Structure 1
Amino acid sequence: MDKSAINRITAIRDKYKAIAEEAGDNYNLFKVIGLTSEEVRIHSAFLANLLNPQAEHGQKSKFLKLFCEQFDIPQFDHDSGKVTIEKYIGKKEEINGGRIDIDIFDKNGFHIIIENKIYANDQENQLIRYSQYGKKQPKYKLFYLTLYGYMPDEKKSCNYDKKQISLKEGNDYFLLSYHYDILNWLEHCREKAATKPLLREGISHYINLIKYLTNQNTNYMMNQEIIKEFLKPENVQSLANIKECLVKTQIELQYQFWECLINELKKKGFD
């Protein structure tokens, strides 16, 4: 790879750095207060608030209606919807009980059950327990929400041989992703809140947080442009050499770091 190609990559990096600074993309309230991946305190709380027709956002059931439309829940009466976070459904036993992250229900007893996963692992028989709770209601729909729409740990959360229970995705539960599904819904919510500046900006900060957690910020676009530069015919032949050099560069950087640390510790009297 010649010097001009390296200069173009540097220019791409500088361009996106300037874009991020100009747009204020590096500033996010959730990152400032150090709460980016708290499932209950941040993510479940924020989503539940938007979905709650009685919440202080003042938009009544607009956001819940958008949710029902986007995720195919036409029977749900959004105007009468009520939302509970960490819904206690009884003592945790083999296939019953526990706490549901978000439970939304209407006057007809229809329950929308959302299991919200950012980084936490599945619990034993978790979706089975929530499915059993749903089956006790007149009607329900169970969602498994993760950053990228991952499948749950089926052996741990969906299958229980002792009772011959096996939940199937697309039938007993449905996958949702922050990366696409929730982000798309939030964009529509922001459109509805266009004339409410504080609400609109609150949603914008949360959208920015989701993009940060799912690598969709300006760094993602920058990397895509750099990849295009690498894939130009005149640069492809150099990729193998670049990869080898990158590994050796990482090794050298680590060596220099530890060497520098040792020297600084010696200066301060450590042996």
Structure 2
Amino acid sequence: MDDFLQTVALLRARYQRPADFNLFSVLRSASDEVRLHSRYLAFLLDPKATHNKGTALLNLLLKRLGIQNFDSENAIVEVEYQNIDILVRNQSKQAVIIENKIYAGDQDEQLWRYHQRMQAEGYGEIWTTYLTLDGSEPSEQSRKSLPVVLLSYEAEIIAWLKDCIPLVAREPGVRESVFQYIELLQKLTSSDQGEIYMSKLKEQILLGENLFVIADINHAFKSVLVDLQLDIWERMTAYQGSHYPQLGKPENSATKEAISAYYKKAKNSKYIGLTFPFTFMNGGVYIELDHRLYVGYYCDGEQFPEDREQLLALSREIAPNTRNSGKMFWKYSTFNVNLHAPSNEDLALLRDPETRDSIAVNLIDDAHELWQRAHQQFA
């Protein structure tokens, strides 16, 4: 066992190449769904864009999606049309909805509403697709009875981009951007290991009893992720109790059992966290996990419409230019760590106790700030 792990470490040191310069990473956060991923994908799909390939790139993706008889010659591609991440539509009243989810969660009836919206505009053929890093299913409350085409960056999008490369080979700027975007997606999906390194690693796994050891390591790795995440939640509750007792004892769904279920991908295990109900109005502040940690306001609009409207107004005051008027304010943690499928950089942060403490402190400070703003305005 020790010899095997030592050999793997040596292989990694020898063959795993460092990350190259990537313009996408320099200009935007790798998880920026709208300003990076949706815009770039829309650029490639748009027949009128300056990649000069007309409908060729769009047709490749439509074929991969299994969408036939779509009039791509008259296609219009838009980003954030009626809040739809990417919309491809034409004069024949056909529409392809691409809901792009890097780390954000589903909204109530989100996919269903988008489909109904396009139907109301007279579109007869509508394909609704759900794009995530790993091909995850949308929530039942988002899709309702709607048939949805699942897409993953790791499988379909990277494969589609590789198919695009020969078509854009004579467009050097576009070609290099596709190469760099593939590298970015491979990093996001933890599939960026070098071929030589992976080949050597597979050779070692097949030696002796190593193949059986790997199964044990996989179980241990998930257990370590559970422990690291649980430690962050426990640090949050300890810090909140000592620094902001006025928030009250939180409703805590981030138990060890819930975190274990999260990593096992059990049904309805995706959203866990801490909830701090207000004492002066309905609603409250929450810290939640949807692969990344984020903090925001909540209030049930059906039961408490007046309180929800007040919190929506406050949300618009906090971020008037970046939030849709129908959404409560929320924001990601300053530490943009992926707890679902952590990259090497994420793992380096997570194993450091001081960083885990900083993550916890940052989120509780943010939650207290939101609580305080609501208290000052409505108490």
Task: Give the TM-score band, short-chain normalised.
Answer: 0.7 to 0.9
CA RMSD, 1 decimal: 3.2
Q: 1:133 aligns with which of 106, 117, 133?
A: 117
Question: CA 1:236–1:101 in structure 2 vs 1: closer, same or farther (change >3 Å)?
Answer: closer
Q: TM-score, normalised by structure 2?
A: 0.53
Residues 134 and 141, structure 1, Cα contact 8 Å, conserved in 2: no
Q: Return the letter of the residue paired with 2:89.
A: F
Quote the Cα distance in structure 1 between the aligned partners of 2:14 and 2:94. Answer: 50
Q: 2:67 aligns with which of 60, 70, 73?
A: 73
Deviation at 1:236, TM superposition (A): 6.9
Aligned to 2:165: 190
| Runs of 5+ consecutive residues of structure 1 not aligned to the other structure | 89-98, 160-165, 259-271
Deviation at 1:56, TM superposition (A): 1.5
Q: 2:156 aligns with which of 137, 156, 181?
A: 181
Residues 100 and 130, structure 1, Cα contact 8 Å, conserved in 2: yes
Deviation at 1:16, TM superposition (A): 2.0
Aligned to 1:267: none
Aligned to 1:199: 174
Aligned to 1:29: 23
Q: What percent identity do the matched residue pairs reach?
A: 35
SS of 2:105's equivalent?
Answer: coil
SS of 1:41's equivalent?
Answer: helix
SS of 1:233's equivalent?
Answer: coil
- Cα deviation, 1:122-161, whole Å, max 9, x if unaligned, reads 001101101212434121111011111100111x2123xx
SS of 1:101's equivalent?
Answer: strand
Question: Does 2:100 align with 1:100?
Answer: no
Mapping for residues 1-271 of structure 1, pairs under 5 Å: 1=1, 3=3, 5=4, 7-17=6-16, 20-21=17-18, 25-88=19-82, 99-135=83-119, 136-154=122-140, 156-159=141-144, 166-167=145-146, 172-218=147-193, 222=197, 225-226=200-201, 229=204, 232-233=207-208
Tell me how many residue pairs correspond in the alignment: 225
- Structure number with the bigger relative contact order (C-alpha 8 A, sep ≥ 6) is 1
SS of 1:130's equivalent?
Answer: helix
Deviation at 1:69, TM superposition (A): 1.7
Q: Return the letter of the residue paired with 2:61.
A: F
Aligned to 1:266: none
SS of 1:74's equivalent?
Answer: coil
SS of 1:195's equivalent?
Answer: coil
Q: TM-score, normalised by structure 1?
A: 0.72
Residues 16 and 218, structure 1, Cα contact 8 Å, conserved in 2: no
Aligned to 2:324: none
Aligned to 1:91: none
Question: CA 1:256–1:45 in structure 2 vs 1: closer, same or farther (change >3 Å)?
Answer: closer
Quote the Cα distance in structure 1 between the aligned partners of 2:351 and 2:75. Answer: 59
Question: CA 1:238–1:102 in structure 2 vs 1: closer, same or farther (change >3 Å)?
Answer: closer
Residues 51 and 171, structure 2, Cα contact 8 Å, conserved in 1: no
Quote the Cα distance in structure 2 between the aligned partners of 1:256 and 1:191. Answer: 43
Question: CA 1:233–1:105 in structure 2 vs 1: closer, same or farther (change >3 Å)?
Answer: same
Question: CA 1:257–1:194 in structure 2 vs 1: closer, same or farther (change >3 Å)?
Answer: same
- Cα deviation, 1:17-62, whole Å, max 9, x if unaligned, reads 3xx25xxx43211223342110000000000010001112111111
Quote the Cα distance in structure 1 between the aligned partners of 2:75 and 2:117. Answer: 18
Residues 149 and 178, structure 1, Cα contact 8 Å, conserved in 2: yes
Quote the Cα distance in structure 1 between the aligned partners of 2:148 and 2:186. Answer: 25
Quote the Cα distance in structure 1 between the aligned partners of 2:107 and 2:213. Answer: 47
Question: CA 1:53–1:221 in structure 2 vs 1: closer, same or farther (change >3 Å)?
Answer: same
Q: Return the letter of the residue paired with 2:11.
A: I
SS of 2:166's equivalent?
Answer: helix
SS of 1:145's equivalent?
Answer: strand
Residues 129 and 151, structure 2, Cα contact 8 Å, conserved in 1: yes
| Runs of 5+ consecutive residues of structure 2 not aligned to the other structure | 229-349, 355-379
